[in-house]
Amino acid sequence: VIMGLESLAEPARVNIVTDSVYIRTGIADWLPKWRNQGWRAGSDRRLRPLANVDLWRRLDTQLGRHEVSVRWVPSHSGHIENEYCDWLARQATRRLAGLRRSMCVA
């Protein structure tokens, strides 16, 4: 999501479709709270450092540049773009696995 938004040269209206509840909830619910709590997570009495704060700050910067909406879709539910993204990710994983095997051959 971050790299996709960063790749846009100009501010744009963007619809993010994701099967990740973590990304959807992070953007829609958690991010404003974390920002207001000084980039810490938890309740007021038990605030702790936020995991991956560098990535969430980068995402927050991009959300400020663009007009973004987020929609969650269930994974493997036939949503054509989601299925295509899943296929691309699996292909990339296979290529990386093949590269690692070839680098380990003596």
The pTM assigned to this predicted structure is 0.79
**Chain segment 53-100, per-residue pLDDT in tens:** 999 999 999 999 999 999 999 888 888 998 998 999 999 999 888 876
Distance CA 22, CA 38 (A): 20
Higher pLDDT, 103 or 67: 67
Does residue 104 surpass a pLDDT of 70?
Answer: no
pLDDT band at 38 (very low <50, low <70, confident <90, very high): very high
Q: Positive or negative CA dihedral for 84, 90, 92, 98? A: negative
